[in-house]
Amino acid sequence: MKPFRKSHKNDFRDAEATAEAVLRPTMRFVPTKTVEQLDLQALHRVRSRLVSQRTAVVNQIRTFLLERGIAVRQGLRSLRQALPDILAKRTDVLTLRMVHLIEGLVQDWHHLDGRIEAVTEEIEALVAADEACQRLMSVPGVGPIIASAMVAAIGNGAAFQRGRDFGAWLGLVPRQISTGDRTVLGRLSKRGNSYLRSLLIQAARVLLLWPAKWRQHSFGAWLTAASMRLHHNVLAAALANKLARIAWSVLSQNRVYEPRAAAMAG
- Mark whether 55 and 136 lie in a shared domain: no
Residues 120 and 147 in one domain: no
Residue that is last in its domain, among 88, 107, 128: 128
- The pLDDT confidence band at residue 261, using thresholds 50, 70 and 90, is low
The answer to whether residue 68 sits within a structural domain is: yes
pLDDT the model gives residue 181: 78
211-227 pLDDT, tens digit each: 888 888 888 888 999 99
Full residue range of the structural domain in which residue 206 is found:
131-178+192-259
Q: Of 128, 148, 169, which residue is a domain's last?
A: 128
Q: Do 94 and 136 have their domain in common?
A: no
**Cα distance between residue 259 and residue 266, in whole Å:** 11
Q: Is residue 22 part of a domain?
A: no
Residue 113 lies in a domain: yes
pLDDT score recorded for residue 201: 95
* 112 and 147 together in one domain: no
Q: Is the pLDDT at 263 greater than 50, yes or no?
A: no
Instruction: Give yes or no: residues 66 and 153 share one domain.
Output: no
Q: 110 with 154, same domain?
A: no
Let me know whether 106 and 213 are in one domain: no
* Residue 169: inside a domain: yes
Residue type, 11: D
Do 100 and 220 fall into the same domain? no
- 95 plus 41 within the same structural domain: yes
Instruction: Please name which of 48, 184, 198 lies closest in space to residue 112, comparing C-alpha atoms.
Output: 48
pLDDT in tens, 226-247: 999 999 999 999 999 999 999 9
Q: For residue range 29-41, what is the model confidence (pLDDT) as tens digits?
A: 778 888 999 999 9
The rounded distance, in Å, linking the Cα atoms of 1 and 21 is: 6
Residue 138 near residue 144 (C-beta atoms within 8 A): no
| Chain length of the chain | 266
Return the pLDDT at 262: 47
Same domain, 59 and 156: no
Q: Does residue 28 sit within a domain?
A: no
The total number of structural domains that make up the chain: 2
Most confident of 48-52, 68-72, 178-182: 48-52
In a domain, 66, yes or no: yes
Instruction: For residues 253 and 13, give the distance between their C-alpha atoms in angstroms, rounded to a whole number.
Output: 42
Helix (H, G, I), strand (E, B) or coil at 30: coil
Report the C-alpha gap between 79 and 51 in whole angstroms: 16
Over the stretch 131-141, which tens digit does the pLDDT of each residue have?
Answer: 999 999 999 99
Q: What percent of the chain has pLDDT over 70?
A: 98
pLDDT (tens digit, 9 = 90+) per residue, 71-109? Answer: 999 889 999 999 999 999 888 899 999 999 999 999 999
Q: Which residue has the higher pLDDT, 180 or 56?
A: 56
In a domain, 9, yes or no: no
Q: What is the DSSP annotation of 95-154?
A: -HHHHHHHHHHHHHHHHHHHHHHHHHHHHHHHHHT-HHHHHHTTSTT--HHHHHHHHHHH
Whether the per-residue pLDDT at 125 is higher than 80: the answer is yes
Same domain, 157 and 246: yes
Share of the chain above pLDDT 90, in %: 61
Can you tell me the distance from the alpha carbon of 256 to that of 196, in angstroms, rounded to the nearest whole number? Answer: 20
Cβ contacts of residue 236 below 8 Å, gap of 6+? 201, 204, 205, 208
Report the mean per-residue pLDDT for the chain.
90
pLDDT of amino acid 3: 82
